[in-house]
Chains A and B, each alone.
Chain A
Amino acid sequence: MSDKQKLVVIGNGMAGARTVEEILARGGGEQFDITMFGDEPYGNYNRILLSNVLNGTQDPADIFLNPLEWYTENDVTLHAPARVTQIDRARKEVRSNDGQVTPYDKLLIATGSRPFVPPMEGLQGPEGEDKHGVFVFRTIDDCHKIAGYANKCRKAAVIGGGLLGLEAARGLLNYGVEVHVIHLAPWLMNNQLDAQGGKILTSIMQKMGVHVHLEKATAAVLGDDSVTGLQFKDGATLDCDMVIISTGITPNNELARDCGLTVERAIVTDNQMRSVDDPNIYVVGECAQHRGRVYGLVAPLWEQGQALADHITGRNENAAYHGSKIATKLKVMGVELASMGVTEASDERDEVVIFSEPKRGTYKKLIIRDGILIGAMMLGDLNKVAYLMQAFDRGTPLPEERLSLLFDIGAPSVEATMLEMPDTAQICNCNGVSKGQIRKCVEGGKRSLKMVMEATRAGMGCGSCKKLVSEVVEWAAEGQVEEDPSIHYYVPGVALIKSELVEAIMAQGLKSVSSVFETLAHGVEDAGSKMGLASLLKSLWGAEYEDERDARYINDRVHANIQKDKTFSVIPRIYGGVTTADDLIKIGQVAKKYDVPMVKFTGGQRIDLLGITKENLPKVWKDLGMPSGHAYAKSFRTCKTCVGTDFCRYGVGDSTGLGIKIEKRFQGIESPGKMKLATAGCPRNCSEAMVKDLGAVAVEGGNWEIYIGGAAGAHIRKGDILCIVDSHDAVLQIMGRFMQYYIENAKYLERTYGFVERVGMDKIRSIVVDDSEGIAARLDASIQASVDAYVDPWLEADTPATANQFISTLPVLQA
Chain B
Amino acid sequence: MPIMTPEKTQYSLGSVAQIPLGEGRNFQIGGTEIAVFHTRQGVFATQAECPHRHGPLADGLVGGTQVTCPFHAWKFDLTTGEPLMGQCALQTYPVRLTDSGDIELTFLGEAAHFVS
Contact = CB atoms under 8 A, between A and B. Distances in A.
A264 B63 CA distance: 55
Contact of A548 (B14, B19, B22, B73): B22
Interface string B46-64: 0000000111101111111
A530 B63 contact: yes
A812 B11 contact: yes
Contact of B13 (A431, A553, A813): A813
Interface string B15-50: 001111111011111000100000010000000000
A810 B64 contact: no
B21 A550 contact: yes
A185 B75 CA distance: 62
A804 B18 contact: yes
Contacts of A810: 13-14, 18-19, 25-27
Residue among A454, A527, A805 with most chain B CB within 10 A: A527
A372 B25 CA distance: 51
A648 B75 CA distance: 52
B63 A527 contact: yes
Contacts of B59: 554, 557, 562, 566, 808
Contact of B14 (A807, A809, A813): A813
Interface residues of A, number: 37
A803 B18 CA distance: 6
A810 B103 CA distance: 12
Interface string B62-89: 1110111011110100000000011000
A529 B66 CA distance: 13
A37 to B, nearest CB: 48
B12 interface: yes
B56 A566 contact: yes
A408 B114 CA distance: 56
Contacts of A400: none
Given A550-B22, A564-B71, A808 B56 contact: yes
A460 interface: yes
B20 A527 contact: no
Contacts of A812: 11, 13-14, 27-29
Interface string A95-109: 000000000000000
A815 B13 CA distance: 9
Contacts of A562: 56, 59, 70-71
Given A809-B25, A810-B18, A527 B12 contact: no
B64 A802 contact: no
Nearest to A815: B12
Nearest to A813: B14
Contacts of A802: 20, 23
Contacts of A807: 25
Contact of B63 (A525, A553, A804, A811): A525
A803 B12 contact: no
A514 interface: yes
Given A514-B40, A525-B40, A529-B63, A808 B26 contact: yes
Contacts of A813: 12-14
A789 interface: no
Contact of A803 (B10, B19, B40, B71): B19
A493 to B, nearest CB: 7
A525 B56 contact: no
Contact of A526 (B23, B33, B63): B63
A526 B67 CA distance: 10
Given A548-B22, A549-B20, A566-B56, A493 B14 contact: no
Contact of B33 (A549, A553, A809, A811): A809
Contact of B61 (A457, A524, A527, A811): A527
Contacts of A460: 73
A449 B29 CA distance: 43
A813 B27 CA distance: 10
Nearest to A801: B20
Given A564-B53, A809-B33, A812-B13, A528 B23 contact: no
A503 B106 CA distance: 47
A531 interface: yes
A157 interface: no
A527 B28 contact: no
Contacts of B60: 527, 554
Contacts of A529: 63
Given A531-B61, A548-B22, A553 B70 contact: yes
Nearest to A565: B54
A562 B11 CA distance: 30
Contacts of A525: 40, 62-64
Contacts of B26: 808-810
Residue among B20, B28, B40, B73 with most chain A CB within 10 A: B20
Interface in A512-527: 514, 524-527
Residue among B8, B22, B40 with most chain A CB within 10 A: B22
Nearest to B73: A460
A524 B64 contact: yes
A670 B53 CA distance: 30
Contacts of B13: 810, 812-813
B20 A454 contact: no
A550 B64 contact: no
Contacts of A454: 85
A454 B68 CA distance: 13
Interface string A788-812: 0000000000000011110111111
Contacts of A662: none
A47 B55 CA distance: 56
Contacts of B21: 548, 550
Given A530-B63, A812-B11, A554 B27 contact: no
A781 B42 CA distance: 43
B63 A493 contact: yes
Contacts of A514: 22, 40
A809 B22 contact: no
A554 B71 CA distance: 10
A804 B14 CA distance: 13
A550 B20 contact: yes
Contacts of B56: 554, 562, 566, 808
Contacts of A548: 21-22
Contacts of B71: 562, 564
Contacts of A528: 61, 63, 68
Nearest to B40: A525
Contact of B70 (A461, A554, A809): A554
A554 B13 CA distance: 23
A155 B10 CA distance: 97
Contacts of B62: 525, 527, 550
Contact of B23 (A431, A457, A550, A566): A550
Contacts of A564: 53, 71
B27 A803 contact: no
Interface in A545-568: 548-551, 553-554, 557, 562, 564, 566
Contacts of B28: 809, 811-812
A549 B29 contact: no
A431 B72 CA distance: 9
Contacts of B11: 812, 815
A461 B74 CA distance: 12
27 contacts: A431-B72, A457-B86, A461-B72, A514-B22, A525-B40, A527-B60, A548-B21, A549-B20, A550-B21, A550-B23, A550-B62, A554-B59, A554-B60, A554-B70, A566-B55, A802-B20, A804-B18, A805-B20, A807-B25, A808-B26, A809-B25, A809-B26, A809-B27, A810-B26, A812-B28, A815-B8, A815-B12
Q: Which 4 A-B pairs have the closest CB atoms?
A: A550-B22, A527-B63, A802-B20, A554-B59
Interface of A: 431, 454, 457, 460-461, 493, 514, 524-531, 548-551, 553-554, 557, 562, 564, 566, 802-805, 807-813, 815
Given A808-B59, A809-B33, 19 more contacts: A461-B72, A548-B22, A550-B20, A554-B59, A564-B53, A566-B55, A566-B56, A803-B19, A804-B20, A808-B26, A808-B56, A809-B26, A810-B18, A810-B25, A810-B26, A812-B27, A813-B13, A815-B10, A815-B11
